[in-house]
């Protein structure tokens, strides 16, 4: 179930910033710390579940395909001079995802979605309202729910 792996997924986004720190990736279940506002003086990642496709049958496995988005806010503004900094995160994120394909054995697989897996964006979030540069990362998790009993 999602509560068993979503925080492991958020930890994948804690990539190096290149300035001696790591991206602050907020938890959803361990700490229930999803913020109303984000600091713009440090890189942060917010993880969302967008949808789930659920298949089950009596006597067969129950399978959940979870699709979601991680929103990285990486700069304090939308200055074009910061684009090289943002571009450095593409590889960091791809390596982190590829290195955690089962989220420590918690899921069957975790991958970045096919088309536009990582996209550079200008965003604003919460009351901060300040436009800033970031990345949108689309992900997919396949989970076989062995503990789910389907009865007729």
DSSP conformation class of 16: B
The predicted pLDDT at position 17 comes to 96
CB 19 within 8 A of CB 11: no
The predicted pLDDT at position 150 comes to 66
Question: What pTM was computed for the model?
Answer: 0.92
The predicted pLDDT at position 128 comes to 59
The predicted pLDDT at position 79 comes to 95
The predicted pLDDT at position 39 comes to 87
For the CA atoms of 20, 26, 27, 31, the dihedral, rounded to the nearest 10 degrees, stands at 90
For every residue of 29-85, DSSP letters joined together read SSS----SS--SSS-EEEEEEEEEEEE--TTS--EEEEEEEEEEE--SS--GGGHHH
Closest CA to 83 of 122, 141, 55: 122
User: Model confidence over 32-75: pLDDT tens digits?
Assistant: 888 888 888 899 999 999 999 999 877 778 899 999 999 999 99
The predicted pLDDT at position 151 comes to 66
Counting as low any pLDDT under 70, the low residues of the chain are 127-128, 149-152
């Amino acid at each position: 179930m999602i509560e068993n792996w979503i925080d492991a997924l958020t930890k994948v986004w804690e990539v190096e910033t290149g300035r001696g720190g790591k991206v602050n990736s907020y938890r959803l279940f361990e700490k229930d710390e999803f913020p109303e506002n984000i600091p713009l003086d440090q890189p942060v990642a917010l993880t969302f579940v967008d949808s789930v496709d659920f298949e089950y049958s009596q006597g067969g496995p129950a399978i959940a395909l979870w699709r979601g988005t991680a929103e990285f806010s990486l700069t304090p503004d939308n200055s074009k001079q910061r684009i090289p900094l943002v571009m450095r995160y593409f590889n960091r994120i791809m390596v982190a995802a590829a290195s955690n394909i089962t989220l420590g054995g918690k899921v069957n697989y975790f991958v970045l979605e096919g088309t536009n897996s990582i996209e550079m964006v200008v965003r604003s979030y919460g009351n901060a309202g300040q436009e800033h540069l970031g990345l949108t990362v689309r992900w997919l998790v396949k989970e076989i729910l062995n503990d789910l009993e389907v009865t007729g």
